[in-house]
Amino acid sequence: MNQNQLDAVPTELDFSPVHERMQWYIDEQLIPYCTSVVIRGTDVIDAVHLGGGTAETTAAADSIFRMHSCTKMATSVVAMMLWEEGRFALDDPVEKHLPEFADMLVLEPDASSADDTRPATEPMRINQLLSHSAGLSYGFIEPNSVVDTAYNAAGLTLGGIQALTLEELCAKLAELPLAYEPGTSWRYSFATDVTARLVEVLSGQRLDEFMKERLFGPLGMVDTDFWVPASKRDRFLTMSLPADPMDPMTPGLSPMPMEPETDGPPRFLAGGGGLMSTVVDYIEFVRMLVSGGEWNGHRILKSETLDVMRTNQLAEGVGVQFPMWSMPDTTFGLGFALKEAPARGEPAVANGEYHWGGMAGTHFWMAPQANLIGISMTQRMPGFWHPFSRDHKRLVYEIAG
């Protein structure tokens, strides 16, 4: 694909309601701009960059976004490459490959401090890392909880982790209690960063090197990396901070201070959220996913492996849950959330959709029954599970589903 443009295949479908609704969010100062893409099969059938009408207020096909948790999909894919090679089994105890995670402690159900623990009855397993059911946490999702308070006290804050390597992060995580017995619940967490360290150990390469060699290079993802070199920084989009980060519908945006630039890869290669990329690059990634693992003349994964990744890994009755967002009828596979029932206003063909998004507002969903991919991208912190992305999906389904 041309790195500077997104050419859509002509269809009879009219996506103007999608464009108008996304422009409304921009005009109301709820998001700064929006790149909207709809794909049927592997053909782009609608692509538009919406914003304020100038290059400074509208993204382009080659604009570089902070992908944040959309990184998790890519990290999960490269981990499953190693699974295909027989480097690990999905039910392997994590400690088999990362010994620091042996003999973990777990918080008592009524724990009032991080000292209220007992030995875990089962080890964390690799499929639980990939499905966020291993018992780890993040430190910021529920900052007043016992487990997240312990994470913050250990320096595992969004700022503190930047000074660590993946190996050092795992050493710190292994010293902290698990939030619950592995496999018994779901909690968003550093689990994909632990998976990233697993990739390093099993491959013998740094995460970024392995991803470039095995994923980004073959797919032609030329602008995807864990840092943005000086030659590309004029394409690096500004992040916006809303007037009220806790209320997604309060108007008002201001530029968010940029994180420090580096002259090379960062110390912390965040497999859970560190990638920068363009919409053009990530389109190649999702095309590979929906094409049975082969794209651009390269076999990335077997189709059977992708089927496993799109299979629920959570225990019966366990689903995706956030304290601040409702995601009903959602389970988790190996790197993707799985839709078990259509959301309100969505057609039956939405069932079976697999998806995920990033905290800065980059959202991707793939719907096999509808033969659709939907992409909506902005840079608003926070922007995960924002109403704009749910409206985008609903309208795309109404028009093309």
Q: For residue range 79-106, what is the model confidence (pLDDT) as tens digits?
A: 999 999 999 999 999 999 999 999 999 9
Burial 304-320 (b: 16+ CB within 10 A, else e): ebbebbbebbbeeebbb
∠ Cα 214 218 223 (to 5°) = 95
Output the CA torsion 332→337→340→343 (10° steps).
150
Average pLDDT over residues 133-147: 95
Residue 158 confidence (pLDDT): 83
Residue 2 confidence (pLDDT): 41
pLDDT tens digits along 143-186: 999 999 999 999 999 889 999 999 999 999 999 999 999 999 99
Any alpha helices (H) in 215-352, and if so which ranges? 217-219, 279-290, 303-309
pLDDT tens digits along 207-236: 999 999 999 999 999 999 999 999 999 999
Residue 53 confidence (pLDDT): 81
Tokens of 359: 């905290």
Return d(Cα 266, Cα 260) in angstroms, integer.
Answer: 10
Residue 246 confidence (pLDDT): 87
Return d(Cα 277, Cα 283) in angstroms, integer.
Answer: 10
pTM: 0.97
Of the pLDDT bands very low, low, confident and very high (cuts 50, 70, 90), residue 3 is very low
Residue 344 confidence (pLDDT): 86
Spatial neighbors of 221 by CB under 8 A, at least 6 apart, are: 215, 277, 281, 282, 284, 285
Average pLDDT over residues 134-142: 95
Residue 90 confidence (pLDDT): 98
Residue 1 confidence (pLDDT): 44
Residue 263 confidence (pLDDT): 80
Residue 54 confidence (pLDDT): 82
Of the pLDDT bands very low, low, confident and very high (cuts 50, 70, 90), residue 56 is confident
Return d(Cα 64, Cα 218) in angstroms, integer.
Answer: 20
Half-sphere exposure of 15 (CA within 13 A, CB side): 27
Return d(Cα 208, Cα 294) in angstroms, integer.
Answer: 21
Work out the mean pLDDT of the chain and round it to a whole number.
95
pLDDT tens digits along 360-392: 999 999 999 999 999 999 999 999 999 999 999
Of the pLDDT bands very low, low, confident and very high (cuts 50, 70, 90), residue 70 is very high
pLDDT tens digits along 242-276: 999 989 999 999 999 876 667 889 999 999 999 99
Residue 392 CA from chain centroid, whole number: 18
pLDDT tens digits along 278-315: 999 999 999 999 999 999 999 999 999 999 999 999 99
Residue 260 confidence (pLDDT): 62
Return d(Cα 152, Cα 146) in angstroms, integer.
Answer: 10
For residues 345 and 312, which has the higher predicted lDDT (pLDDT)?
312
pLDDT at 7 over 90: no
Residue 257 confidence (pLDDT): 81
Average pLDDT over residues 338-363: 95
